[in-house]
Structure 1
Amino acid sequence: MNYRINGKGVYLLFLIITTAVYQLKAQVVTLDYYFNHEVHTNAAGKQQRYHYLWNEAQDSGYSIWGDAFKKHGATLDTLAEAPTTANLKKSAVYIIVDPDTKKESPKPNYISKGDVSVIEKWVKNGGVLVMLANDSANVELLHFNTLAAKFGMHFNNDLQNHVINDAHFNDGAIVTKDNPLFKTAGKIFMKDVCSITIKGKAKAALKKDNAIIIATAKFGKGTVLAVGDPWLYNEYTNGRLPSGFENDKAADDISAWLLKQVPDVN
């Protein structure tokens, strides 16, 4: 029996195959909503989750960074419970940002030894982990560092790039031109961050003076990116920074770099 496929049939077949290939290669970027779980009372008087959310368009959200990931073909997801082998399985990139202190949450979910074990194995098998800290007054570093230590990193209890007020933006400037992490951004703004100490296979990816601000590590089949601040939230990526700062471009650069680290997709 002979089958003939006309022009429309060929196009439909091409579309089906292309869609299938895209779905196979689509990378899921998962943002933690468990270790950082800040809640406030909204205008209606109800308790509402906020701070570093994909769908949060306010200055405190990550909607612009999320759009950058989507621009590069990724799918966004969230994880509102402790990481497990099962619930991390579909994620190509897992982002943990600014774990809560008791000041931010009455019952913070600290990173446990079990959490560290699960995440370590996930990275070793090819996961791309992003750890975003903060200045030591605004992040829970003790337990976060038990995770960072597995990859030769340690977030320090210090304050770098201190910016007094908006009249001193240049105190938060970091030159990123010709840095492999930043293909298009030449200068970024990063305010009140902690530095990172490295050992073993961890490497300094960005420094300000002698302080390491961003570090990377290869671990098994996976990759780890550590930053001393949650700096890619909307307040600093929405184009409102003074001329010369390119955090919006940096969000795109970092997204592209992270996705390129995912095994078998490059």
Structure 2
Amino acid sequence: MKLKAILAICFLLGAATFLQAQTVTVDNYFNNETHKDKAGNEVKFHYLWNDKASTGYSIFGQAFTNNGAAVLKTLPEKPTCKNLKGTNIYIIADPDNVGDNPHPNFMDKAAAKAISKWVKKGGVLFLLANDQKNCDLSHFNILAHKFGLNFNNDLILHVIDDNHFADGGISTSGIPMFKTAKEIFIKDACSITIHKKAKAILKDKNGANVLVCTHYGRGTVLAVGDPWLYNEYTNGRLPSIYENDKAANDVAAWLLSKTKQ
């Protein structure tokens, strides 16, 4: 076998090993909601890998595994430098306010410092907020400000009902992140103000920042003002023009491509 062929095979095997080692961790500390199941048991739900109902991230989690590179984990404790070690991608979605949880775990300076240190070393962070009525933005911004971002107390892409889907529609055609999705749907988000090196990937029709990205040290931060890629909007319920299922795969692939640890 020729030397070039041998080197090519070694490179591919090395790349495959690297990809298989990637770990995607979803937060279950700042987002820590529970409800009772049919048997009356208290169970955790909302934006979790194992939540297969409309409220969960099971489809988004599958998008990571479909890209052949993800070990899916959940972090129920406050993030620290120690318990973030070994995670390549960390996702925080819709931190609780008192309406979601009577005793919410708010973001604080210690957690923000640990997370920002992890990103600086090469971690990939995905922040998904929500509108101010459904999310704790004030404390979440302690972390966001580390990266030149601010989740605003406003409401964009407001959708009154299922007869007004178009109000949440955004074209992604020509956006490098979205390799397959051409039109997506995001409902009732908050906008994001950006500073420093942060750049907008998507804007709404009024020019508000919807999806933004920035680099911090060796790491990458992606942020959007809505939990967005949960099962309700990735399972085919939307009109066929909206390709959130493809977007989930596109975003997962993009996040995995940014890992450096």
Question: How many corresponding residue pairs?
Answer: 249
Q: Does 1:230 align with 2:222?
A: no
SS in 1 for 2:189: coil
- What residue in structure 2 maps to residue 112 of structure 1? 108
- What residue in structure 2 maps to residue 43 of structure 1? 38
SS in 2 for 1:138: coil
Q: 1:96 aligns with which of 92, 95, 104?
A: 92
Q: Does 1:263 align with 2:241?
A: no
Structure 1 pair 245–133 and aligned structure 2 pair: CA distance change class (3 A): same
- What residue in structure 2 maps to residue 22 of structure 1? 17
**8 Å contact kept, 2:219–2:260:** yes
Deviation of the 1:165 alpha carbon:
0.5
- Based on CA coordinates, which of the two structures has the bigger radius of gyration? 1
- What residue in structure 2 maps to residue 61 of structure 1? 56
Matches of 2:15 and 2:217, distance apart in 1 = 29
Deviation of the 1:21 alpha carbon:
5.8
Matches of 1:131 and 1:141, distance apart in 2 = 11
Deviation of the 1:221 alpha carbon:
0.2
| Cα deviation code 1:160-219 (max 9, x no counterpart) | 011010011111100001112211100001000000000111111110121000110000
Structure 1 pair 42–124 and aligned structure 2 pair: CA distance change class (3 A): same
Deviation of the 1:25 alpha carbon:
4.8
SS in 1 for 2:40: coil
Percent identity for Structure 1 against Structure 2: 56
- What residue in structure 2 maps to residue 214 of structure 1? 211
What pairs up with 1:67-82 in 2 under 5 angstroms? 67-72=62-67, 73-82=69-78
TM-score, with structure 1 as normaliser? 0.90
Matches of 2:152 and 2:117, distance apart in 1 = 25
Cα-Cα RMSD: 1.7
Deviation of the 1:42 alpha carbon:
1.4
TM-score, with structure 2 as normaliser? 0.92
SS in 2 for 1:216: strand
Q: 1:184 aligns with which of 155, 180, 184?
A: 180
- What residue in structure 2 maps to residue 7 of structure 1? none
- What residue in structure 1 maps to residue 5 of structure 2? none
Q: Does 1:128 align with 2:124?
A: yes
